Amino acid sequence: MQVEGFAAVLGDDIDTDVIFPARYLAVLKPEDQAKYLFEPLGDAVRQKVLAGGVVIGGWNFGCGSSREHAVTSMIGANVRLVLAKSFSRIFFRNAVNNGLAVVISPEIVSAITEGDKISADLQTGQAFINGRALSFTPLPSEVLMILSAGGLWAAKSAQKNKEVKT
């Protein structure tokens, strides 16, 4: 599974209230949620994310509440990958469950600057930053299956359909 885009670099401890403010929780469609993505950081940050498709976080990305809106708003904004030094466990799991690729790699994050072109093969653990090859721990096959299906519910549905046909 290949993902690529341009880096929008954020810092450490980006919490779910910064990713998607609580006052918009009644907004349910991901494409509508994208309008409020990273609102506390300003429109310039949101525009970089929308244009690039790859969010780069520092330590503890997605800390805070367990709201799925933090993930689904990024999906609505066509974010294809979140690469961070570390994630809160609940954010990481919400991302996988909703079909958003997430990779942990302090080394790669440290090598990225704003606007860098990023390409990553989630299965082999190969990343290219402006053409420079770097490695990360590949995602497990179960996670890749969920991401490829578009999320956990889609993967479960596909598995049920497969079982019915056999």
pLDDT tens, 84-116?
999 999 999 999 999 999 999 999 999 999 999
Taken in order of first residue, the domains within the chain and their CATH numbers are 2-165 (3.20.19.10)
- Statement: the pTM of the whole predicted model exceeds 0.85: yes
Residues 15, 30: Cα–Cα separation, whole Å: 18
Between helix 89-98 and helix 152-165 the angle, nearest 10°, is 50
Beta bridge pairs of residue 101? 81
Cβ distance 3 to 122 under 8 Å? Answer: yes
Sign of torsion, CA 49 109 130 141? negative
What is the chain's Cα-based Rg? 15
Cβ distance 21 to 40 under 8 Å? Answer: yes
- Taking phi over 0 as left and psi of -120 to 50 as alpha, with beta for the rest, 64 belongs to left
Pairing of strands 126-129, 2-9: unpaired
For 149, the enclosing helix (H) or strand (E) is: helix 141-149
> Percent of the chain at pLDDT above 70?
98
Whole-number pLDDT of residue 157: 75
Residues 19, 33: Cα–Cα separation, whole Å: 10
Task: Walk along the chain (166 residues) and give the pLDDT tens digit of each residue.
Answer: 999 999 999 999 999 999 999 999 999 999 999 999 999 999 999 999 999 999 999 999 999 998 999 999 999 999 999 999 999 999 999 999 999 999 999 999 999 999 999 999 999 999 999 999 999 999 999 999 999 999 998 877 777 777 767 6
